[in-house]
């Protein structure tokens, strides 16, 4: 195979991914004076970030002046069940407000408070109203703002040089299939244009991964087709490591019917406002699934549960409002027991619970979502819902301050969903958008500095490029090979059924066996047709990444013998403080198999752990750690946070 037809480019920094993290990183690299390329798998501005609705969490204190970074930090650690990389959570909480304010200088228009500041809304797990938002389309605003900032930088370059692309160029509909190394150093990235199928080689000393998540490995997901774990896999193959891959966030109530909207979220407030879950026999089954530890707080009769909505003080909560994992587990069990709906979910009903006008008043966005997307009138019929794969907490293990990937590789950076550690075992709503901005900026800044610091540019080895070409063309050579769509469905079935929301040892072992079989089949995948915009070919190439990432998730899920955040083991239902000390680190060995290693978590600095009360920490820490905590002198908990009332009135339980 000749390499003659490969388009070559030289850049200082290549950013793979054009979502929030990628665009923010690119802006920073360009502002640092580096020639920057942005690789966008779809068209510019279509990234999955647009799906984010709630908002971006930042302790600006606009709505409640008591809020500050320390409170935000605490909430983030609680949400992640203390498995978070504390330094990332700290940086995130400290820098999020600046990153949000900066967006306004790019032209963003957030919703406002009465005194003209950025409005902030309440969200699960956040102690104070903290999410900067624009109605329910905050993600779109973020992407558009960053997109337009990049255009404005291009306009500046045009004014100066006569070329819009002089310092920052967007390669839209371009996929990177391989990172190229010079020794341990990143030397470039190889990929193809979707439009033409032609190859391109970007030579650059620094590469930033911002490719998002892995949701397409699951049957039911809220993620788009791009979410095939490309960045995770590229990092592994380049010698970087992944952490926390066992932690996936499943939302208990995603739409399962109609098929076109499978996976799209149904907000929790549907249940909070009186929606009930029923199985195909019409039974309100959640009463059968209240775990013993929750019996005191949750009603055991429908009558009491129904009284709670109007009189929460004298009645116990309806069991529909149990924590997310409990609800998801219950739905899962009902469906597995054959009491699910035809589409494989359960019924979530508000139509028999309140008058139509109450529904449209209290749940307007849900009413419209079902009306517009599904032609279902939720005031007249029940919704069909089931757990949906939403977000991966795990990702590239990074150095917290610089976002540089750990492992053997140099010159690789990661930001956003593709990076791991920030959210621990469970992400709080709203922390994702701020994560993108904070660590996108850091990645861009440090990648630029790294590129600057190199005495000479790493060189791409021609034989690596030839190998990459052969790998990319292989599916096209096998016109009669197995259908990539079938393979994807089989992979989704394995992951959805065996490495889904509730996991068991036997199923995980089975899954690993099946993934090996799939690996052999994926090696024989074929793509009919030619190179021009051929989605079958593109999928065939993505499958390789999906498989390797799925293997990481399955292996780590089998290894971690406890339940914590986004990882629920039926055979180990409790959280275990010993496991909190451990991160599971995936790497790739020479044969291309996933290698798993335990690594201990960095110990939180004294002044940070002092922000917590002992009673809370005792749920998470080992006896040893608690005695270390006791040995620290000085005030602890709320007493350390300026402006916080110490009577405990404002406490909210983080889940």
Shortest CA distance to 566 belongs to which of 329, 250, 321? 250
Alpha-carbon span 568 to 566, nearest angstrom = 7
Q: Per-residue x/- mask for another protein, residues 193 to 232, rule CB under 8 A?
A: --x----------------------------xxx------
Is residue 417 a contact partner of residue 17, using CB atoms and an 8 Å limit? Answer: no
Q: Which is nearer to another protein, 50 or 392 (CB)?
A: 50
Q: What is the torsional sign of CA 533, 535, 538, 540?
A: negative
Q: Does 48 bind another protein (CB under 8 A)?
A: yes
Residues 248-277 that bind another protein (CB under 8 A): 257-261, 264
Question: What is the SS3 assignment for 600?
Answer: strand
Q: Which stretch binds another protein (CB under 8 A): 210-218, 372-380, 559-567, 627-635?
A: 372-380
Residue that is written with structure tokens 């861009």 in the block: 444
Q: Does 418 bind another protein (CB under 8 A)?
A: no
Q: Per-residue x/- mask for another protein, residues 4 to 43, rule CB under 8 A?
A: --------------------------------------xx
Alpha-carbon span 626 to 617, nearest angstrom = 8
Q: Does 164 bind another protein (CB under 8 A)?
A: yes
Is residue 205 a contact partner of residue 451, using CB atoms and an 8 Å limit? Answer: yes
- The helix (run of H) or strand (run of E) holding residue 552 is helix 535-559
How is residue 448 written in tokens? 């630029």
Alpha-carbon span 183 to 566, nearest angstrom = 37
CB 553 to another protein: min, Å: 23
What single DSSP character describes residue 348? E
Of 87, 111, 124, 184, the one binding another protein by CB under 8 A:
111
Of 3, 106, 184, 595, the one binding another protein by CB under 8 A:
106
CB 274 to another protein: min, Å: 25
Q: Which is nearer to another protein, 420 or 484 (CB)?
A: 484
**Environment class of residue 356 by beta-carbon count within 10 Å: exposed (0-12), middle (13-18) or buried (19+)?**
middle
Q: Which stretch binds another protein (CB under 8 A): 140-148, 241-249, 559-567, 596-604?
A: 140-148
Q: Does 129 bind another protein (CB under 8 A)?
A: no
Q: Does 160 bind another protein (CB under 8 A)?
A: no
Q: Does 375 bind another protein (CB under 8 A)?
A: yes
Shortest CA distance to 126 belongs to which of 166, 164, 75? 75
Alpha-carbon span 278 to 35, nearest angstrom = 57
Question: Which residues form the catalytic set?
Answer: 251, 271
Q: Per-residue x/- mask for another protein, residues 454 to 483, rule CB under 8 A?
A: -----------------------------x
Q: Does 493 bind another protein (CB under 8 A)?
A: no
Of 291, 323, 364, 530, the one binding another protein by CB under 8 A:
530
39-51: b (≥16 Cβ within 10 Å) or e: bbbbebbbbbbbb
Alpha-carbon span 544 to 445, nearest angstrom = 31
Q: Per-residue x/- mask for another protein, residues 532 to 571, rule CB under 8 A?
A: xxxxxx----------------------------------
Neighbours of 650 (CB within 10 A): 13
Is residue 39 a contact partner of residue 17, using CB atoms and an 8 Å limit? Answer: yes
Q: Which is nearer to another protein, 140 or 596 (CB)?
A: 140
Q: Which is nearer to another protein, 170 or 189 (CB)?
A: 170
CB 248 to another protein: min, Å: 19
Question: What is the SS3 assignment for 42?
Answer: coil
How is residue 410 written in tokens? 């140099």
- Residues in touch with another protein (CB under 8 A): 42-46, 48, 50-51, 60, 97-98, 101-102, 104-107, 109-112, 115-117, 119, 134-135, 137, 140-141, 144, 148-149, 151-152, 154-155, 164, 172, 195, 224-226, 257-261, 264, 371-375, 483-486, 489, 527-530, 532-537
């Amino acid at each position: 195979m000749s390499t003659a037809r490969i388009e070559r480019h030289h850049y200082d920094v290549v950013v793979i991914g054009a979502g929030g993290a990628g665009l923010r990183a690119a802006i920073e690299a360009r502002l640092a004076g580096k020639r920057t390329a942005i690789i966008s798998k779809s068209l510019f501005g279509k990234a999955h970030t647009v799906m984010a609705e709630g908002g971006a969490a930042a302790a600006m204190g606009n709505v409640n002046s008591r809020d500050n970074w320390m409170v935000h930090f605490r909430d983030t650690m609680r949400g992640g069940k203390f498995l978070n990389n504390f330094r990332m959570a700290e940086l995130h909480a400290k820098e999020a407000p600046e990153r949000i304010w900066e967006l306004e200088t790019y032209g963003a228009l957030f919703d406002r408070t009465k005194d003209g500041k950025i409005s902030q809304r309440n969200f699960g797990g956040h102690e104070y109203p903290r999410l900067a938002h624009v109605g329910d389309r905050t993600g779109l605003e973020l992407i558009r703002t960053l997109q337009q900032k990049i255009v404005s930088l291009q306009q500046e370059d045009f004014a100066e040089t006569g070329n819009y692309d002089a310092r920052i160029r967007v390669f839209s509909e371009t996929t990177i299939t391989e990172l190229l190394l010079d020794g341990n150093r990143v030397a470039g990235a190889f990929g193809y244009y979707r439009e033409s199928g032609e190859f391109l080689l970007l030579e650059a000393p620094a590469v930033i991964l911002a490719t998002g998540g892995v949701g397409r490995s699951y049957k039911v997901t809220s993620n788009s087709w791009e979410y095939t774990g490309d960045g995770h896999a590229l990092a592994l193959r380049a010698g970087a490591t992944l952490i926390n891959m066992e932690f996936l966030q499943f939302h208990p109530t995603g739409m399962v019917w109609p098929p076109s909207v499978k996976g799209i979220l149904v907000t929790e407030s549907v249940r909070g406002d009186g929606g009930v879950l029923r199985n195909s026999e019409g039974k309100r089954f959640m009463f059968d699934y209240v775990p013993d530890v929750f019996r005191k707080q949750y009603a055991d009769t429908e009558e009491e549960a129904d009284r709670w909505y109007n009189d929460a003080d004298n009645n116990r909560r309806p069991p529909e409002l149990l924590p997310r994992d409990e609800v998801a587990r219950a739905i899962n069990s009902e469906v597995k027991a054959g009491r699910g709906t035809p589409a494989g979910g359960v019924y979530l009903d508000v139509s028999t619970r309140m008058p139509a006008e109450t529904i449209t008043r209290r749940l307007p966005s849900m009413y419209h979502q079902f009306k517009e997307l599904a032609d279902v009138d939720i005031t007249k019929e029940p919704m069909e819902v089931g757990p949906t794969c939403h977000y991966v907490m795990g990702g590239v293990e990074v150095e917290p301050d610089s976002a540089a990937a750990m492992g053997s590789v140099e010159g690789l950076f990661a930001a956003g969903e593709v990076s791991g550690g920030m959210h621990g075992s469970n992400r709080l709503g709203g922390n994702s958008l701020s994560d993108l901005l904070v660590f996108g900026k850091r990645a861009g800044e440090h990648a630029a500095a790294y590129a600057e610091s190199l005495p000479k540019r790493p060189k791409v080895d021609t034989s690596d490029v030839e190998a990459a070409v052969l790998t990319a063309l292989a599916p096209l050579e096998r016109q009669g090979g197995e259908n990539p769509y079938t393979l994807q469905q089989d992979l989704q079935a394995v992951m959805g059924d065996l490495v889904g929301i509730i996991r068991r040892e036997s199923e995980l072992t089975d899954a690993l066996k099946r993934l090996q079989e799939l690996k052999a089949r994926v090696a024989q995948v074929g793509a009919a047709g030619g190179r021009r915009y051929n989605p079958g070919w593109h999928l065939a190439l993505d499958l390789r990444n999906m498989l390797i990432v799925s293997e990481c998730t399955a292996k780590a899920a089998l290894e971690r013998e406890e339940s914590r955040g986004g990882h629920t083991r039926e055979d180990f239902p409790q959280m275990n403080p010993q496991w909190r000390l451990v991160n599971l680190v995936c790497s790739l060995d020479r044969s291309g198999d996933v290698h798993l290693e335990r690594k201990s978590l960095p110990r939180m600095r004294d002044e940070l752990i002092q922000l917590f009360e002992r009673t809370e920490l005792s749920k998470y820490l080992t006896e040893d750690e608690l005695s270390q905590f006791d040995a620290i002198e000085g005030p602890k908990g709320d007493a350390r946070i300026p402006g916080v009332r110490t009577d405990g009135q404002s406490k909210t339980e983080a889940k």
